[in-house]
């Protein structure tokens, strides 16, 4: 069973439907009761880092998420759900994250030149399809060709302290972290639930992955 955390900061319907499509038995929970019985946990996230952090704590999920990860069970973070794993985020001030992966979440510069027209700047947020380079071999990438396209919507990106957690990278003005893996944690800056066949395959891989 995979639990999708509803803490008021995620695109829950599309995530749950995508998991069900690839054979997942999905429960969406808006309270932490019963979360310990879940085999796998998924933390989505849409919005500002600080708001998502406050919502996660206010709904009582903060400590259960930490306990789930400590138990060694598989965990997947998506978009801001990935960013919250880091030590701190810098959107509208500095806010502490779960600190499960050391590092910071910082914003894209709004002065990045557009490679197609250097007289213009790239738009922020970064929105749309982009190639993801696989930076480490892992079950998460099974059946997904390297440099496949995934769908992104974000203005901030993660800077891990330990480069060994880097699982996928992409480019938007700068090279940025598209996915991280550490022990029983996998996380993606892109939205697999919006990434068609490759995204569905990634979710299917998560459902069968045994850390």
Is residue 11 pLDDT above 80, yes or no? no
State the pLDDT at residue 62.
96
Percentages helix, strand, coil for the chain (3-state, rounded to 5) are: 25, 35, 35
Give the pLDDT of residue 118: 85
Q: What is the pTM of this model?
A: 0.96
Mean pLDDT in residue range 64-85: 97
| Across 73-101, average pLDDT | 97
The reply to whether 191 belongs to the active site is: yes
Instruction: Tell me which of 68, 95, 154, 191 is the catalytic residue.
Output: 191
| Interval 40-62: pLDDT, tens | 999 998 889 999 999 999 999 99
- Render pLDDT for 96-141 as a digit per residue (tens, 0 to 9): 999 999 999 999 999 998 988 888 999 999 999 999 999 999 999 9
CA distance 145 to 76: 20
| 123 contacts: CB under 8 Å, gap ≥ 6 | none
Q: What is the pLDDT of residue 115?
A: 87
Coil, helix or strand at residue 77: strand
Residue ranges and CATH numbers for the domains of the chain are 2-208 (3.40.50.880)
**79 assigned to active site:** yes
Annotated active-site residue in 68, 91, 157, 193? 193
> Tens digits of per-residue pLDDT, 144-185?
999 999 999 999 999 999 999 999 999 999 999 999 999 999
Rounded to an integer, what distance in angstroms lies between the CA atom of residue 32 and that of residue 30? Answer: 7
Hey, which residues does 106 pair with through a beta bridge? 157
pLDDT tens-digit map of 183-208: 999 999 999 999 999 999 999 999 99
Residue 162 is predicted with a pLDDT of: 98
pLDDT of residue 113: 87
pLDDT at 119: 84
The whole-number average pLDDT for the span 10-22 is 91
**Can you tell me the mean pLDDT for 63-73?**
97
Q: Single out the catalytic residue among 68, 79, 126, 157.
A: 79
pLDDT at residue number 138: 97
Q: What pLDDT, on a 0 to 100 scale, did the predictor assign at position 117?
A: 87
Looking at residue 199, its pLDDT comes to: 98
Contact between residue 144 and residue 150 where contact means Cβ atoms under 8 Å apart:
no
Burial of 128 (0-12, 13-18, 19+ CB in 10 A): exposed
Known catalytic residue: 193?
yes
């Amino acid at each position: 069973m995979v639990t999708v955390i509803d803490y008021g900061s995620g695109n829950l319907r599309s995530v749950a439907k995508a998991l069900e499509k690839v054979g997942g038995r999905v429960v969406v929970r808006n309270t932490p009761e019963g979360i310990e019985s879940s085999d796998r946990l998924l933390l989505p996230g849409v919005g500002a880092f600080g708001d998502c952090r406050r919502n996660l704590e206010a709904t009582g999920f903060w400590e259960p998420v930490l306990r789930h990860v400590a138990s060694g069970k598989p965990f997947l973070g998506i978009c801001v759900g990935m960013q919250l794993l880091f030590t701190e985020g810098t959107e509208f001030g500095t806010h502490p994250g779960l600190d499960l992966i050391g590092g910071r979440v910082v914003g894209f510069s709004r002065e990045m030149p557009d490679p197609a027209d250097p007289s213009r700047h790239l738009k922020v947020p970064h929105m749309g399809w982009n190639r993801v380079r696989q930076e480490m071999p892992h079950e998460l990438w099974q059946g997904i060709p390297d440099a496949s396209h995934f769908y992104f919507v974000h203005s901030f990106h993660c800077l891990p302290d330990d480069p060994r957690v880097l699982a996928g990278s992409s480019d938007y003005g700068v090279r940025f972290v598209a996915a991280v893996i550490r022990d029983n944690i996998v996380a993606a800056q892109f939205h697999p639930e919006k990434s068609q066949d490759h995204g569905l395959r990634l979710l299917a891989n998560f459902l069968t992955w045994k850390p």
